[in-house]
Amino acid sequence: MNFLIINELFSFGGAEIYVQNLANILISNGHSVTRLFLRKKNGVSLPNNCYFIDCDSKLGKLFEKKRLTKIIRAFIKRNAPDIIVLNNIFSSPFSVYKACFGYTTIKIIHDYQFVCPKSTCITNDGNICSGFEKKKCEQSCLKAKNIKRDLLNLLRIKAFSKKKKYFSRYITSFISPSNKLAQLAKAQGFQNIAVINNPIFIKNPKDSDFVSFEQKKNFIYVGLISEEKGIYQLIEAYKKSSPALNNSLLIFGRCATQDDNRKIVSLTQKSCKIKYMGQVDNIKVKKEIAKSLAIIVPSKWCENYPTTVLEGMAMKTLVIGTDRGGISEMLADGKGFIYDQTKLNDLQDLLRYVESIDKESYQAITNKAYRYTMSNNSFETYYDRFIFVCKKSLENPKNVIKVG
């Protein structure tokens, strides 16, 4: 089959790594793949069969740009794909969706922007909600204290409602990495949703990649440094537990804003046991995860199917995660520890417990998580499930797709 994959950026984070791996999986199985990107960083050169159309526009997030629709449409016609795969599309979604009209188009839904105008499914008081309800959203989460902000939120709601109409008109089927997001999307009226868990980006680890239980030390956080990711709550919980803890807390990742950079530097300078290591490459991250006693995923917002959880399980490192989004389903059935994000004491208790856990109990959890991940999240398993959805979408777009 001939695939066209469209994504916002060429390189940035987990969604972009997903696109690169999806392209490699398809090519290795004999398919033709072209990739189109809508924004790119200056100085970044694109590999073969990768192209760029500049779609960076604030107004494009709210309205269709007809000229842009024609440009993308012309590109699609020249490539004549059997399947169009849409990944993360932010800048000009309406132009991209409309340009796909008449083609079998599969949309990968990576986050909660498809069920919530705020993209979080978290209310202003920090609780989880069930997604978009116009009156509820207008009266609570999207009601601001000034006219300018209220107008912006009104436009956001209208754009969200418009996007749902475009989905029903131009998208053949959807793929969600987690059951949680798929359930919310179905409640919002989405049709043809398949759940396919993301593949693991660490393929076939060697024995030398792992670290013995006796050599494991330190707690580790890997991800964006921001309030939504729960990193500051993790630091608070660690500080309150630190007198009873022997292991340090190592923090890896880039800062979302300059304020986050100042805050994380200030917090870590005040403690010799909390160390901010900055952003490092994926190879070093994998090694650090393998050496750690536990990797912690303390997200406040609803994560879909976070890569850091998969990486921890693949490196036989214990994973501690919040009950938000798809994290809890990834760690269910004894594959890790889950705690209530609103209860700091629960995290403190887990930190102390993990330090005291015996080798047999630790390995029972991590080995189970490893076996599950290497089977359920292998490239081969992902490919079989993905191609199944593609074939069903081509055969009969009106069928409701279900993937086991």
- If one compares 373 and 40, the residue with the highest pLDDT of the two is 373
Radius of gyration of the chain (CA): 22
- Report d(CA 12, CA 164) in Å as an integer: 26
Which pLDDT belongs to residue 403? 44
Q: Which of 119, 76, 80 is nearest to 99 (CA)?
A: 76
DSSP, res 44: P
pLDDT recorded at residue 167: 80
* CATH tag, 2-199+378-395: 3.40.50.2000
Question: Tokens at residue 187, please?
Answer: 């409640």
Mean pLDDT computed over 286-301: 94
C-alpha 256: how far from its chain's center?
Answer: 16
**Cα gap 81→94, rounded to integer Å:** 20
CA count, 13 A, side-chain hemisphere, 375: 6
Does the pLDDT value for residue 366 go beyond 50?
yes
Spatial separation of the C-alpha atoms in residues 373 and 377, rounded to whole Å:
5
pLDDT in tens, 198-242: 998 776 778 888 999 999 999 999 999 999 999 999 999 999 998
Percent of the chain with pLDDT over 90: 58
The distance from CA 11 to its chain's CA centroid, rounded to whole angstroms, is 14
Superfamily name with CATH number, domain 207-376: Glycogen Phosphorylase B; (3.40.50.2000)
Q: Which helix (H) or strand (E) holds 194?
A: strand 193-195
DSSP per-residue codes, 240-273: HHGGG--S-EEEES-BSSHHHHHHHHHHHHT-TT
- Whether the pLDDT of residue 41 is over 70: the answer is no
Query: Over 50: is that where the pLDDT of 59 sits?
Result: yes
Q: What is the mean pLDDT of residues 287-293?
A: 95
**Using an 8 Å Cβ cutoff, are 64 and 95 in contact?**
yes
Least confident residue range of 108-122, 251-265, 383-397: 108-122
Q: For residues 113 and 98, is the Cβ–Cβ distance under 8 A?
A: no
| pLDDT computed for residue 162 by the predictor | 77
93: left (phi over 0), alpha (psi -120 to 50) or beta: alpha
Contacts of 271 (CB under 8 A, 6+ apart): 239, 242
What per-residue confidence (pLDDT) applies to 246?
A: 92
Do the Cβ atoms of 281 and 88 come closer than 8 Å?
no
Question: Span 174-188, mean pLDDT?
Answer: 90
207-376 matches 2-199+378-395 in CATH topology: yes
* pLDDT at residue 205 in the model: 77
Tell me the backbone φ, ψ of residue 80, rounded to 5 degrees. 45, 60
Q: How far apart are the first and last CA of the chain?
A: 23
Give 147: exposed, middle or buried? Use CB within 10 Å, 0-12, 13-18, 19+.
Answer: exposed
Residues forming a β-bridge with 321: 297, 338
pLDDT for 209 equals: 86
> What does the alpha-carbon distance between residue 403 and residue 243 come to, in Å, rounded to a whole number?
48
From 91-100, 137-146, 241-250, the region with the lowest mean pLDDT: 137-146
Calpha distance 171→190 (Å, rounded): 10
Which pLDDT belongs to residue 400?
A: 44
The residue ranges of every structural domain in the chain are: 2-199+378-395, 207-376
Provide the residue count of the chain. Answer: 404
| Residue 131 to residue 138: CA distance in whole angstroms | 13
With a CB cutoff of 8 Å and minimum separation 6, the contacts of 264 are 225, 231, 251, 255, 276
Per-residue pLDDT, 402 = 45
What's the chain's average pLDDT? Answer: 87
Bigger pLDDT: 113 or 349?
349
Please give the residue that has the higher pLDDT: either 216 or 113.
Answer: 216
* Burial class of residue 44 in the structure, from the number of CB atoms within 10 Å of its CB (0-12 exposed, 13-18 middle, 19+ buried): exposed
Average pLDDT over residues 99-121: 86
Question: Which H or E element spans position 154?
Answer: helix 147-170
Per-residue pLDDT band at 302 (split at 50, 70, 90): confident
Beta strands in 74-144 (DSSP E): 83-86, 105-108
Predicted local confidence at residue 42, as pLDDT:
63
Give the Cβ contact number of residue 224 at 10 Å: 15
Q: What is the pLDDT of residue 269?
A: 86
CB-based contact 316:294 (threshold 8 Å):
no
Higher pLDDT, 149 or 267: 267
Alpha carbon of 377 to those of 10, 15, 16: distances in Å?
Answer: 23, 16, 18
Give the per-residue pLDDT at 116.
Answer: 82
